[in-house]
Amino acid sequence: MLVAKSKHPEKSGDTTHGSPLISSSAIRRLVETGSIADASTYLGRLPTYLGTVRHGNKMGRTIGFPTANVHPDGPRATPLDGVYAAWVERNPLSSTAVFHAGAISIGDRPTFNGTIRLVEAFLPGFDGDLYDQELRLHFVARLRGQVRFESIDALVTQMNADVATCLHLLGVPAKQP
């Protein structure tokens, strides 16, 4: 069992100084059901997802939201399908790690009749090449579930609102027109 609310969980018996115990499997289930705040509480940090950026079909780029398709480097607990505010860490395993605000979409892109579950990261204001780079996503909050929109315009309107919400939750000023 893991001691809750510890940055460095330790093995323990029933309780440690009054902290409830929770198993790593239970924390994984919290992440997989989108309960980011609860998972963060028990982990003592934000839940993360580590992966490498791979080429996709560049659909996001065509509608003004170039996304990084993050493929896991191994078995990972992936949050429930939906849209999340997150910190995106570039080069997380090096001394040159850099953090960016991010809007993360997890799901099969229902508006585009997608059938493959993807983890896509949009970094507002970032203009660079992320292909083949490792990213660590630090999930802060779940905004909403996946939605099939009636039009691309409706999707773009919602994506703009989602990005604004993400920036607000992360304490990052929105870019002014």
Residues 68-110 pLDDT 10s:
999 998 888 999 999 999 999 999 988 999 999 999 999 999 8
Beta bridge partners of residue 173, listed in sequence order: none
For residue 138, give its domain range: 48-170
Higher pLDDT, 16 or 107: 107
Q: What is the DSSP letter of 175?
A: P
C-alpha span between 42 and 85 (Å, rounded) = 19
| One domain for residues 125 and 139 | yes
| One domain for residues 116 and 103 | yes
Contact 76, 50 (CB under 8 A): yes
Contact 110, 146 (CB under 8 A): yes
Tokens of 114: 């997608």
Q: What is the pLDDT of residues 134-168, one digit of tens each?
A: 999 999 999 999 999 999 999 999 999 999 999 99
Give the predicted TM-score (pTM) of the model: 0.85
| One domain for residues 31 and 63 | no
CB count in 10 Å sphere of residue 150: 9
Decide if 176 is inside a domain: no
